């Protein structure tokens, strides 16, 4: 009988290669792919690792959608107004 792995929470990230999430594998794969074409694999790999480090810090510190809402409230992310978008004049975000 096979043992199937189930997620403990609904929002658990997809695990690939036993340890890494898809949010960590995709930037590294893109960096290596572009790096092989432009012969700058090491530099782009370092940029990808720094990107992963920063995004993991942000994910641990803020709720989902906080950064996008903050950029939008500062006017750096222009979008059409929709009922699902929060008010840009609200300074607090409750996710």
* pLDDT band at residue 74 under the 50/70/90 scheme: confident
**Percent of the chain residues topping a pLDDT of 90:** 35
In a domain, 62, yes or no: yes
pLDDT higher than 90, residue 14: no
User: Would 82 be classed as within a structural domain?
Assistant: no
- Asked whether residue 95 is assigned to any structural domain, the reply reads no
16 beta partners = 20
Are 61 and 54 in contact, with CB atoms under 8 Å apart?
no
This prediction has a pTM of 0.63
Residue 78 included in any domain = no
For residue 27, what are the domain limits? 15-73
Decide if 88 is inside a domain. no
Q: Are 89 and 73 in contact (CB under 8 A)?
A: yes
Count: domains in the chain:
1
What pLDDT band is residue 42 in, cutting at 50, 70 and 90? Answer: very high
Comparison of pLDDT for 41 and 91, the residue scoring more: 41
20, containing H or E segment: strand 20-21
């Amino acid at each position: 009988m096979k043992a199937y792995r189930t997620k403990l929470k609904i929002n658990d990230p997809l695990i690939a290669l036993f340890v890494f999430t898809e949010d960590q594998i995709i930037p590294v794969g893109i960096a290596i792919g572009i790096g092989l074409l432009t012969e700058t694999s090491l530099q782009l790999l370092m940029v990808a690792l720094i990107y992963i480090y920063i995004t993991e810090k942000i994910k641990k510190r803020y709720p989902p959608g906080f950064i996008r809402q903050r950029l939008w409230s500062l006017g750096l992310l222009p979008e059409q107004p929709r009922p699902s978008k929060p008010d840009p004049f609200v300074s607090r975000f409750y996710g």
